[in-house]
Amino acid sequence: MYQLTIPADQVNEALSKHILADGFDLTYDMEKSKGAYIYDSKYNRTLLDFFTCFASVPLGYNHPKMINDEAFKKNLLQAAMANPSNSDVYTQQYAQFVETFSKIGIPDYLPHAFFIAGGGLAVENAIKVAMDWKVQKNFAKGYTAEKGFKVLHFERAFHGRTGYTLSLTNTLPDKTKWFAKFDWPRVSIPQVKFPLQGDHLDQAIHTEETSIAQIKQAFAENKDEICAIIIEPIQSEGGDNHLREEFLIQLKTLADENEAFLIYDEVQTGVGLTGKFWCHQHFSEKARPDIVAFGKKMQVCGILVGDKVNQIENNVFRVPSRINSTWGGNLVDMVRATQILQIVEEDQLCDNATKVGAYLKENLENLAHKYDKMSNVRGRGLLCAFDFPTKDMRNQFISKGLDHNVMFLGCGEKTIRFRPALCIEQKHIDEGLTVMEKILPLL
């Protein structure tokens, strides 16, 4: 029978016998963690969580509408007892998830869906959709050999660690070096710094122009070879780098003009964190994507695809087995996601992200006026960030945060990014700000 025999203070020791256990020095207690707080049973402490497992825990821990809903827990347990091949064996729970997702999170301009486990594999299949489409487009033009496999992407991008995505990701070299990669067009990312006015605005416009020129050159030098432009609406791991709507509109125009897909990787920015269900919904219709990749807070990973794919009759949504997997996502994740989506809608958590996020950003700006070591405060909704002068100072801040029982998260070279739960309250922000006031003078 199943028993937990590993003491909380020996978890890392047990794991280290077989894996590289280089994660946080804590033991997450699934029972005692609650709301915005993760309980560490290794050191018997409660931590305020601005990390949420890399933005993948949307409602914090043991949300009352999760733990007190007996029907939900019954279906969750049933889904966990066996792991059906959702791609071929259908259940009411699967259908309920898709219907709920359709009502709350699937825009009418992205009607086609595909589900899989893992954000990297979501991006992988977005690329396969684009490749399949572009190659057939080229056949229709008269090409007799397969052509149209290249994906145009950006510096400082993170799109995963799987096969195709290794050719796109270019944050820390250790994540991609010594693995086989394709030589696909890589262009500069615009430099958007805040406050976005004066010299900062001039720099943003100038670097956008440079990037657009590089994209046009890439299309010219790779005629009919580029199947997609892929970008994160806010580059997350690369440093919480924001983009202006004007730039994204130009990307959409260039994609259309060159018969390519515009793919938004919303694995981290999706599901309410920015104050809209999808980050790209902050922008106009002229910046709409052809494909969105999702994961993390969504629990189930996958892609949403627009009707542009139907320009090819035999596309991947009409021909069996072109894209597929055994499990087609995980049924336990689907049951959990169904409940989460309903709570996000019922509790108006996108609106909460807007309100509390504005409060967080305003107070970060106030701190930056007080401490000149903080700069470039930025944010959409709860997805907020700021920079330190050096990587070492940033890392000291994270370490001292843990000493004060707050989990902060870094990204890029010297950035702190905030990834709280959607249901976080102003009192939690105040608690974190109080700790920051203690830490910042020590750096």
Bridge partners of 116?
A: 301
Fold of 84-344: Aspartate Aminotransferase; domain 2 (3.40.640)
Could you count the other beta carbons within 10 Å of the beta carbon of residue 258?
21
pLDDT > 70 in the chain, percent: 100
pLDDT tens readout for residues 209-246: 999 999 999 999 999 999 999 999 999 999 999 999 99
Please report which confidence band the pLDDT of residue 418 belongs to, taking 50, 70 and 90 as the band edges.
Answer: very high
Please report which confidence band the pLDDT of residue 116 belongs to, taking 50, 70 and 90 as the band edges.
Answer: very high
What number of CA atoms fall less than 13 Å from residue 427's CA on the CB side?
4
Q: Where are the domains of the chain?
A: 84-344
CA distance 194 to 204: 10
Burial of 108 (0-12, 13-18, 19+ CB in 10 A): exposed
The pTM of this model reads 0.97
pLDDT tens readout for residues 71-83: 999 999 999 999 9
pLDDT tens readout for residues 322-339: 999 999 999 999 999 999
Q: Which parts of 61-115 fold into alpha helices (H)?
A: 64-67, 70-81, 92-104
